[in-house]
Structure 1
């Protein structure tokens, strides 16, 4: 590696791959919204008489 390329890589952030370590969102909010969607879908299905 040349001094120029090592200097450039020192100041540039690493590429993000979107792996599990990148997911830092609020977990509880995702679970609550997910279960709310499941319950809403179940209510709509039963009210429509499909089950």
Structure 2
């Protein structure tokens, strides 16, 4: 699951964005789920940096 929130800053002339990534823990492998979520988050942050 992926959620992106974008809003104007209340005090500065800029836009703030928040990315939330959720992964289901399959087979009880929490470390794998965290690694997948971290990887997706990093890819999204890199993509967002291009704009």
Say which structure, 1 or 2, has more relative contact order (CA 8 Å, 6+ apart): 2
Q: TM-score, normalised by structure 1?
A: 0.45
Richer in helix (by share)? 1
* Higher Cα radius of gyration: 1
Richer in strand (by share)? 2
